[in-house]
């Protein structure tokens, strides 16, 4: 179905976060009582938790002082008029979306400023019990599933202060549910766009795969750069039951005015498999918290990441590989490139719980520095409470070798093109593992633009 947003005009302007703002958001959305009560309870949790400090290990290298929460509209789509988009093609063209053709996807949800512009699913999946829709529709039509899974198991409301704020103010988002034994090969695609100046966007992705189910989910976040600060808070919950298999791809390309926080947690039951890729290109300031909880034996979590920072961008990636059961495997590789005065922080933890014997865990972070003023910090960590495991980690930070540049220039290749080839070669092993051609093409173009070619 297509949904065209109607124009809504406010008589007052809301700024800052408060209990009254939670109540106003809930009223405007027409939340059922149980959703409103959950929002208010989350707000109470948010108020009870302390703001992160630089003395906290996870925030030691991350400065929050530039985020002015009291100056932001607490939710999007309500300050002034919202004009919507006339068609899916218009959304794709204006938003630069790689939506693919209808025969290349199992479903598509496009949202802008938390309003759903387009939602569809392959009709052949309906008799199989598959659900794919925006989160507001899911709350109305599948309340029992949402109440069971939304911020209860993967990312609980009390996970952290900003996760509690998200639980109070979530607006947009997507819900995917695949029943027992159902396999869907084509990707489900979800795009969150933002254009309202000074607004906050709280988008939520909830994916539940029942026993033996298989699916492929793509998340995309994008906006043009504006002259007023905005705040984006995303929570991604990936719940895999026994023998389920999920491929998850996330591409973040917010404008340079956005302060972005993203928390993702995957829970893996016995014999399940997760293959994930995270791409961070946009935003002024980004803090990602990405974790896989291998709770059952014989589980597999493959966690890949690409980031490219330029200008004064700041990227902070924290990852967790949590092995709670024996005979499980996790394989993580995050690669980043930096230029100009950009800075990145990577901190990863492999944690093996007592009794999680025969764990096989690998963690690697590689950084390519393209200028003297860019900086990358990398802190890999191990915490092992079992005695029969294989766990390895490593980190590298290096500059482009001038010899390599000279070699290419000596063969008639201009310096900028030579840098582009080297950076593409650096990222190529990860890009080649993406099974969607449009995403590969998008990344290649984005890398070329970042290098300056």
Give Cβ neighbours of residue 194 (< 8 Å, ≥ 6 apart). Answer: 76, 112, 113, 201, 221, 222, 223, 230, 232, 254, 255, 258
Average pLDDT, whole number, for the chain? 90
pLDDT of residue 204: 98
**Inter-residue contact 299 to 325 (CB < 8 Å):** yes
pLDDT value at residue 436: 79
- Those residues whose C-beta lies under 8 Å from the C-beta of residue 20, and which sit 6 or more positions away, are none
Query: Tokens standing for 152?
Result: 């209860």
Contact in structure between 143 and 173 (CB atoms under 8 Å):
no
Average pLDDT over residues 193-207: 94
**What integer is the mean pLDDT of 130-145?**
97
How far, in Å, CA of 279 to CA of 288, rounded?
11
Residue 16 pLDDT: 84
Q: Check pLDDT > 90 for residue 161.
A: yes
Write down the pLDDT at residue 3: 43
Q: Taking 80 as the threshold, does the pLDDT of residue 10 lie above it?
A: no
Q: Would you state the pLDDT for residue 8?
A: 37
The region of weakest confidence among 22-26, 184-188, 301-305, 422-426 is 422-426
d(CA 436, CA 274): 17
248: left (phi over 0), alpha (psi -120 to 50) or beta: beta
The pLDDT > 90 percentage for the chain reads: 74
pLDDT over 70 at 27, yes or no: yes
In contact, 284 and 309? CB cutoff 8 Å: no
Average pLDDT over residues 371-383: 94
Average pLDDT over residues 403-407: 83
Q: 355 — alpha (psi -120 to 50), left (phi > 0) or beta?
A: left
Q: So what's the pLDDT on residue 447?
A: 85
Three-state SS for the chain is: CECCCCCCCCCCCCCCCCHHHHHHHHHHHCCCHHHHHHHHHHHHHHHHCCCCCCCCHHHCCCCCCCCCHHHCECCCCCCCCCCCCCCHHHHHHHHCCCCCCHHHCCEEEEEECCEEEEEEECHHHHHHCCEEEEHHHHHHHCHHHHHHHCCCCCCCHHHCHHHHHHHHHCCEEEEEEECCCCECCCCEEEEEEECCCCEEEEEEEEEEECCCCEEEEEEEEEECCCCCCEEEEEEEEEEECCCCEEEEEEEEECCCCEEEEEEEEEEECCCCEEEEEEEECCCCEEEEEEEEEECCCCCEEEEEEEEEECCCCEEEEEEEEEECCCCCEEEEEEEEEECCCCEEEEEEEEEECCCCCCCEEEEEEEEEECCCCCEEEEEEEEEECCCCCEEEEEEEEEECCHHHHHHHHCCCCCHHHHHHHHHHHHHHHHHCCCCCHHHHHHHHHHHHHHHCC
Q: What is the dihedral of CA 279, 60, 167, 97, to 10 degrees?
A: -20
Average pLDDT (212-240) is 96
**Interatomic CA distance for residues 100 and 436, integer angstroms:** 9
Q: Provide the residue count of the chain.
A: 453
Greater model confidence, 437 or 255: 255
pLDDT band at 330 (very low <50, low <70, confident <90, very high): very high
Res 437: pLDDT: 81
Q: pLDDT by residue (tens digit) across 57-112?
A: 889 999 999 999 999 999 876 554 444 444 555 555 544 556 667 888 999 999 99
* pLDDT surpasses 90 at 181: yes
pTM across the whole model = 0.92
């Amino acid at each position: 179905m297509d949904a065209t947003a109607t124009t809504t005009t406010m008589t007052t302007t809301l700024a800052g976060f408060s209990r009254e703002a939670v109540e106003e958001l809930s009223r405007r959305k027409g939340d059922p009582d149980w959703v409103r009560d959950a929002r208010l309870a989350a707000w109470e949790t948010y108020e009870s938790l302390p703001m992160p400090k630089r003395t906290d290990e996870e925030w030691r290298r991350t400065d929050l002082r530039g985020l002015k929460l009291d100056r932001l509209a607490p939710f999007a789509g309500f300050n002034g008029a919202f004009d919507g988009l006339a068609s899916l093609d218009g959304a794709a063209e204006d938003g630069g979306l790689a939506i693919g053709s209808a025969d290349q996807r199992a479903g598509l949800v496009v949202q802008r400023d938390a309003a759903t512009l387009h939602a569809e699913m392959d009709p052949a999946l309906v008799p199989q019990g598959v659900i794919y829709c925006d989160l507001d529709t899911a709350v109305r039509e599948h309340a029992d599933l949402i109440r069971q899974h939304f911020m209860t198991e993967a990312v609980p409301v009390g996970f952290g202060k900003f996760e509690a704020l998200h639980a109070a103010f979530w607006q947009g988002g997507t819900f995917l549910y695949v029943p027992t034994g159902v396999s869907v090969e084509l990707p489900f695609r979800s795009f969150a766009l933002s254009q309202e100046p000074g607004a906050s966007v709280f988008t939520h992705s909830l994916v539940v795969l029942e026993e033996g189910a298989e699916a492929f989910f793509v998340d995309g976040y994008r906006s043009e750069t504006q002259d007023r600060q905005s705040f984006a808070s995303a929570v991604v919950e990936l719940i895999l039951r026994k023998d389920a298999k999920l491929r998850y791809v996330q591409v973040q390309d917010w404008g340079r005015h956005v302060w972005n926080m993203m928390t993702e947690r995957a829970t893996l039951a016995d014999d399940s498999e997760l293959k994930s890729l995270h791409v961070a290109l946009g935003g002024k300031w980004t803090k990602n918290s990405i974790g896989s909880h291998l709770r059952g034996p014989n589980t597999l979590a493959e966690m890949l990441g690409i980031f490219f920072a330029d200008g004064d961008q700041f990227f902070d990636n924290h990852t967790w590989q949590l092995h709670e059961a024996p005979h499980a495997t996790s394989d993580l590789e995050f690669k980043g490139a930096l230029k100009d005065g950009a800075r990145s922080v990577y901190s990863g933890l492999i944690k093996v719980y007592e009794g999680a014997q025969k764990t096989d865990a690998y963690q690697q972070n590689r950084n390519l520095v393209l200028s003297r003023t860019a900086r990358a910090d990398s802190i890999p960590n191990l915490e092992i409470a079992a005695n029969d495991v294989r766990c390895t980690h490593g980190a590298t930070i290096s500059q482009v070798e001038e010899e390599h540049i000279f070699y290419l220039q000596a063969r008639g290749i201009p310096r900028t093109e030579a840098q582009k080839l080297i950076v593409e070669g650096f990222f190529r092993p990860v890009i080649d593992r993406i099974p969607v051609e449009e995403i590969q093409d998008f990344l290649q173009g984005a890398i070329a633009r970042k290098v300056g070619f």
